[in-house]
């Protein structure tokens, strides 16, 4: 039986860290670009942030079946 729900405590921490970094990068995207960070890196960070919750939802839906 699972004690920690769908994700373990470490997985929740990793997801929270990825979301926090991604939110900061997407809010700060114009400043990052202005500071010389390549556009591809900024877009990759934003896509990563959007992918984490979507993958978590898909994974949770598959585990319920």
> How does residue 1 score in pLDDT terms, banded at 50, 70 and 90?
very low
pLDDT of residue 6: 64
Its pTM stands at 0.57
> How does residue 3 score in pLDDT terms, banded at 50, 70 and 90?
low
Q: What is the pLDDT of residues 12-45, one digit of tens each?
A: 777 877 777 777 777 888 988 999 999 999 888 8
The structure tokens listed for 53 are 């919750």
Spatial distance between the Cα atoms of 33 and 37, rounded to a whole number of angstroms: 5
């Amino acid at each position: 039986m699972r004690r920690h729900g769908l994700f373990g405590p470490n997985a929740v921490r990793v997801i929270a860290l990825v979301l926090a970094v991604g939110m900061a990068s997407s809010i700060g995207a114009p400043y990052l670009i202005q500071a010389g960070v390549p556009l591809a890196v900024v877009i990759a960070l934003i896509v990563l942030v959007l992918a984490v919750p979507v993958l978590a939802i898909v994974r949770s839906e598959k585990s319920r079946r």
